[in-house]
Structure 1
Amino acid sequence: MAQQVLAQLYEHATPQSLALVVLLLFLAAVRLATPRSRAEKLLSKLPSPPFRLPVIGHLHLVGPLPHRSLRDLAGQHGPDVMLLRLGAVPTVVISSPRAAKAVLRTHDHVFASRPPSAVSDVLFYGSTDVGFAPYGEYWRQARKVVTTHLLTVRKVRSSRVAREQEVRLALARVRAAAAARAAVDLSELFSCFANDVVCQAVTGRLPREQGRNKLFHDLLETNNTKLLGGFNLEEYFPSLARLSVVSSEAAKHRKRWDDLLDGLIDKHVRKTANGEHEEDFIDVLLSVQEEYSLTRDNIKAILIDMFEAGTDTTYISLDFAMAELMRNPKAMAKLQAEVRRCTGKGKEMVTEEDLSTMRYLKAVMKESMRLHPPASLMIPHFSMAECDDVEGHTIPSGIRVLLNVWALGRDPTCWESAEEFMPERFMEEAMDADSDLQGNDFRLLPFGSGRRMCPAIKFTTATFEIILANLIYHFNWELPPGTTGIGMTETYGINVYRKEKLLLVPCIAQDV
């Protein structure tokens, strides 16, 4: 990561930016000679790596896969709570279930906000979405809109027909490949499937009819890999925000979102005026706009959030789950036996009624999300007041807090054979009850916990289960000829992806 810092500084070097670097060095020297504030005194008592450099702090210790680097650093300098100086931003890293519980439940009211972010301010219209909005009255109202009107159990069930239609389209594509004995890019299939399901729920039939699904997909990819994900100088050197290095790119990208979403909203307004009503997310938001005092920009921010929450989390979880099943043939055979037994023979597709009795399918989903949580570090939290009891440490007000969910799921003191894919661990009754993905088991937090927990759990799990069950029911899967295994190398962004495409050859199952 230190190399990225230097590369970006060099790439965007201007007389002003070079002057700013000199200024930062000067300020660092001045701070060393200045009496420390209470916050600095409290921070100095937190466990922290000793190898801190001027200006960049501990950034040189953080590699291209931060969730792994931070886990290793915490093992040496934590393990529960650790302070890193990432550029100009002191950051507390939480790496144990006990400390996570302290932050997300015991002191949730203190850590429920988000740190300032120049990029999210641009992309989400002043951070007026649900994910990045600072804690306060607006956030409470925006979250209420989402949980009460968009992502309720009733709403998720009502989108069942659309999900099943998307499953049929995906199965048709896989059958064609099976007939030709050709490999299917399941990474791409899962990504498109998740995107199309969300498009249907958010905007109705308009995107598919007008070929806009791919545009939504491309916009989200830019959001997550180039702007919100990876490394942004402005996150660690807030003074650089005034130079508008990344923010200017975000502004250009938001213009593309504006053009797309404004057009869709206008069409929904016209359809409603003509007496047509689909009850998709845009219709719902327009119907409660006055009740919740939402501006058009607020609506667009919330809509982008819905795409973010519903697309990548599902796609990444499916991709890792299928990869792990192929690497573990016994687990694959066990899942196939359950899906085919619970569904019965000769069915066109596995339905959502069939899913209710598939305990091993749910265990596979949990185990995949334990080992490979899509948002490995989650969106950062932010302390709104001084908190004096986080595993014996005091966290000052105004501090950025990262929860390493990836490390929680692999903590060897909490999990037997923590690095192995073992869905059977979730078949035990006590474990199954505790690990419900609802944020009650602090070893397993793919959706977070507390006030800032992701509200899209029901939507994501319903989408995950229906497509995976159908692919397992109708097909047996093989590696392409000449392939020796499946690569699990990761790529880091706002979410963690598998780097290689998942290419598998489907064979139509003859015994179903």
Structure 2
Amino acid sequence: MDDFITILLFMLPALLFIILLRKPKGKAKLPPSPPGLPIIGHFHLLGPLPHRAFHNISQRYGPLLRLTFGSKSCILVSSPHIARLCLKTNDACFLNHPSKTNLDYVTYDRSDIFMAPYGPFWKFMRKLFITQLLSPTTLHHHSPVRAQELKLFLHGLLKRGGLGEEVNVGDEVSMLTYNIVTTMAFRKRCSDVKSEGSQVVQVVKELIELSGKFNLADMGWLFKKLDLQGYRKVVTSVRSKYDVIIERIIREHEESRKDMQKEHAAERDLLDILLDIYEDPNSEIRLTRENIKAFFLNIFGAGTDTSSLTVTWAMAELMNHPDIMAKARREIDSVVGRERLVEESDIAKLPYVESIVKETFRLHPTGTIISRQATQECEVNGYVIPEKMSVIVNVWSIGRDAQYWEHPLEFRPERFMNEEGESEMSLKAQNFELLVFGAGRRMCPGVSLATKVVPTTLAAMIQCFEWKLAHGGEVDMEEKPGLGLPRANPLLSIPVPRPLPFLNLFT
């Protein structure tokens, strides 16, 4: 922040000259804007945690605001009602993601599904995700992979818990989710330290971190081409490392496919599906190598850290609320019993566990902010949103809106339970009070995978272990800057095995 202010002061004369030359805007009724400063606009109102800063701004000035950062303006949305108007009522007006310098380069100049502009390619990739890559059939095909990885994960916890060792819950769950995704993607476990799967994960983590960094170039003006923070060189270097590793994996697959017999077709992974389309001359859209590489960055970014962080936040809340943990365990013991491990197919019969997941998503959404860009001028709540204006929907703030949630800062899974004992409110965007995976045509296509991995992993951890804090007290709930709402401090706990007969099978 200090470096940023120094640079601004140095460039102040030139920036003032540019402002004076800019033509005044028309008389369109734009959303109200809080008082700002010359040059930097509202940048001084931000802090290390933008979602919290945006929340404080909206609490003071209202749920629909216009903010300015450098030469760029955006619309801040902080209520379910206005989020619905933007992402559902006017969905056709907000079909693109705004450009972000680091992320654009990481995704091979928007060659992926997340950042790709709305159009034929995006529609094709969206259809590919839903009908093939993450279809019910594909997910069912890989269910043994997820079940096996869950057992290996529990085996590691059982071994260390039996010795009374403290574990870093976040690291353990993160390794589980990465193992699931790398095995589904190209049949390589990332926990095998020397494997290509492990190499991919290390580089992907760097790329995801770089994607979430604030880059001065995104403020426009003279910053756009100067690269004052040196990110261009760093991102180029890290993406080059990723490119070498993923290209080697693709070539290995291409060679093995030449010898693949029909009887081994059941071993096909997500890369095989993509290569089928890549090699098909009659495909509706011809995929490039960059499309395939960018796709895997999408599935790693959306399918690993988001799931592991949600499970970790849920466990932190449960350790601070042992009564809720005990209630969930009683439900699992009642429905699943004590003779076998909980499975994905059991989750629909565990409404309290489902409600714990929903309450975790409400208080600790791993997608704190949804960003869109207006593809055309439109009207929202009586105000004009100009074409190409960015819209920021603060999901974190919506989950704490006292007009929609009773006692919004308290962890209460019961708020999702109805009188029939069912868990209400879908996670698939019918309810804008709980915008976990976005909404509209740009809704996250990975919801089907996440809603299998997260509750099943959490239920298994509750079922198999009593969780003991080595130093007593409560778990802190502090956040730190980063993509996906990471915890400021690791969640450390001792997994004490419960006396369940089937746990002997994991030793």
Q: What residue number does 2:408 align with?
A: 418
Q: Does 1:42 align with 2:28?
A: yes
C-alpha deviation, 1:236, in angstroms: 2.1
Distance 1:452 1:47 in 2: 27
- Per the alignment, do residues 429 and 83 of structure 1 end up closer, same or farther by CA in structure 2, a change over 3 Å counting? farther
C-alpha deviation, 1:429, in angstroms: 6.1
Q: What residue number does 2:490 align with?
A: 501
Query: Does the aligned pair in 1 maintain the 2:204–2:242 contact within 8 Å?
Result: no
Query: Does the aligned pair in 2 maintain the 1:159–1:201 contact within 8 Å?
Result: yes
Secondary structure in 1 matching 2:290: helix
C-alpha deviation, 1:221, in angstroms: 2.3
C-alpha deviation, 1:284, in angstroms: 0.4
C-alpha deviation, 1:121, in angstroms: 2.4
Aligned counterpart in structure 1 of residue 175 of structure 2, from 192, 201, 206: 192
| Correspondences of 1:261-300 after superposition (within 5 Å) | 261-275=246-260, 277=265, 278-289=267-278, 290=280, 291=283, 292-300=285-293
Give the fraction of aligned pairs with identical amino acids, expressed as a percent.
Answer: 32
Query: Does the aligned pair in 2 maintain the 1:230–1:492 contact within 8 Å?
Result: no
Q: What residue number does 1:120 align with?
A: 103
Superposed CA deviations along residues 96-134 of structure 1, whole A, max 9, x for unmatched, are: 001000110010010111222322221111111111112
Q: What residue number does 2:59 align with?
A: 75
Cα RMSD (Å) of the superposition? Answer: 2.1
Superposed CA deviations along residues 298-349 of structure 1, whole A, max 9, x for unmatched, are: 11111111111101110110110000111111111111111122111232x2
Superposed CA deviations along residues 377-429 of structure 1, whole A, max 9, x for unmatched, are: 13x200011112x1221111110111101111111000111111111111116
Q: Which segments of 5 or more consecutive residues in structure 1 lack a partner in the other structure?
A: none
Aligned counterpart in structure 1 of residue 438 of structure 2, from 423, 445, 448: 448
Q: Which segments of 5 or more consecutive residues in structure 2 lack a partner in the other structure?
A: 502-507
- Per the alignment, do residues 3 and 134 of structure 1 end up closer, same or farther by CA in structure 2, a change over 3 Å counting? farther
- Per the alignment, do residues 391 and 451 of structure 1 end up closer, same or farther by CA in structure 2, a change over 3 Å counting? same
- Per the alignment, do residues 294 and 511 of structure 1 end up closer, same or farther by CA in structure 2, a change over 3 Å counting? closer
Q: What residue number does 1:438 align with?
A: 428
Aligned counterpart in structure 2 of residue 377 of structure 1, from 356, 363, 369: 369
Distance 1:205 1:400 in 2: 39
Distance 2:307 2:488 in 1: 16
Distance 1:302 1:381 in 2: 20
- Per the alignment, do residues 338 and 261 of structure 1 end up closer, same or farther by CA in structure 2, a change over 3 Å counting? same
Distance 1:432 1:411 in 2: 24
- Per the alignment, do residues 432 and 373 of structure 1 end up closer, same or farther by CA in structure 2, a change over 3 Å counting? farther
Distance 2:172 2:325 in 1: 19
Query: Does the aligned pair in 2 maintain the 1:224–1:495 contact within 8 Å?
Result: no
Q: What residue number does 2:21 align with?
A: 30
- Per the alignment, do residues 298 and 236 of structure 1 end up closer, same or farther by CA in structure 2, a change over 3 Å counting? same
Superposed CA deviations along residues 17-71 of structure 1, whole A, max 9, x for unmatched, are: x56x64323212333xx4x133xx436x422111x12221101001111111111
C-alpha deviation, 1:432, in angstroms: 6.0
| Correspondences of 1:61-210 after superposition (within 5 Å) | 61-79=45-63, 81-205=64-188
Distance 2:369 2:446 in 1: 18
* One-letter amino acid matched to 2:238: H
Superposed CA deviations along residues 244-286 of structure 1, whole A, max 9, x for unmatched, are: 4322321111101101110111011111111155321110001
Secondary structure in 2 matching 1:109: helix
- Per the alignment, do residues 22 and 260 of structure 1 end up closer, same or farther by CA in structure 2, a change over 3 Å counting? farther
Q: TM-score, normalised by structure 1?
A: 0.91
Distance 2:155 2:500 in 1: 19
- Per the alignment, do residues 201 and 65 of structure 1 end up closer, same or farther by CA in structure 2, a change over 3 Å counting? same
C-alpha deviation, 1:434, in angstroms: 5.7
Q: Does 1:368 align with 2:360?
A: yes
Q: Does 1:345 align with 2:338?
A: yes
Query: Does the aligned pair in 1 maintain the 2:355–2:416 contact within 8 Å?
Result: yes
* One-letter amino acid matched to 1:381: R
Q: TM-score, normalised by structure 2?
A: 0.92
| Correspondences of 1:224-235 after superposition (within 5 Å) | 224-225=208-209, 227-235=210-218
C-alpha deviation, 1:173, in angstroms: 1.0
Superposed CA deviations along residues 442-472 of structure 1, whole A, max 9, x for unmatched, are: 0001100001100111101111122211111
- Per the alignment, do residues 49 and 263 of structure 1 end up closer, same or farther by CA in structure 2, a change over 3 Å counting? same
| Correspondences of 1:241-256 after superposition (within 5 Å) | 241-244=224-227, 245-256=230-241
- Per the alignment, do residues 258 and 59 of structure 1 end up closer, same or farther by CA in structure 2, a change over 3 Å counting? same
Distance 2:381 2:374 in 1: 15
Q: What residue number does 1:258 align with?
A: 243
Q: What residue number does 2:313 align with?
A: 320
- Per the alignment, do residues 326 and 128 of structure 1 end up closer, same or farther by CA in structure 2, a change over 3 Å counting? same
Aligned counterpart in structure 1 of residue 377 of structure 2, from 383, 386, 395: 386
Query: Does the aligned pair in 2 maintain the 1:119–1:250 contact within 8 Å?
Result: yes
Secondary structure in 2 matching 1:356: helix
C-alpha deviation, 1:235, in angstroms: 1.9
Secondary structure in 2 matching 1:381: strand
Query: Does the aligned pair in 2 maintain the 1:207–1:213 contact within 8 Å?
Result: yes
Count matched residues.
Answer: 490
Distance 1:458 1:408 in 2: 23
Q: What residue number does 1:470 align with?
A: 460
